[in-house]
Amino acid sequence: MIKIKISELLGKHKMTQKDLAIKANIRHGTVGAMYHETIQRIDLRHLDNICRILQCNVSDILVYEEGTP
């Protein structure tokens, strides 16, 4: 199962979903779906923008964990 660690990264950076959406130029609903791990597809441009804003790598956002979904 692939986990999306946006909620942890936002907490670490003391940033809200709205802040990230504005700074990364991503719809708030899309950021919310990432935050709640309900999103099915992630645009590479979004990942690139998030990495730039949060100064992290893709591997800090997306993590593979064994187990059932």
CATH number, domain with residue 52: 1.10.260.40
In a domain, 68, yes or no: no
Say if 13 falls within a structural domain. yes
Domain count within the chain = 1
Residue 69 domain-assigned (yes or no): no
List, in sequence order, every beta strand (DSSP E) within the chain: 2-4, 62-64
Contact 37, 4 (CB under 8 A): yes
Q: How far is 63 from 50, CA to CA, in rounded Å?
A: 15
| Span 10-56, pLDDT tens digits | 999 999 999 999 999 999 999 999 999 999 999 999 999 999 999 99
- Is the pLDDT confidence value at 68 over 90? no
pTM of the model: 0.88
In a domain, 54, yes or no: yes
What is the spatial distance between Cα 27 and Cα 30, in angstroms, rounded to a whole number? 5
pLDDT for residue 59: 96
Answer whether residue 67 shows pLDDT above 90. Answer: no
Domain range for residue 26?
2-63
- Residue 45 counted as domain residue: yes
Pair 13, 23: CB distance under 8 Å: no
Q: Is residue 37 part of a domain?
A: yes
Average pLDDT over residues 54-62: 97
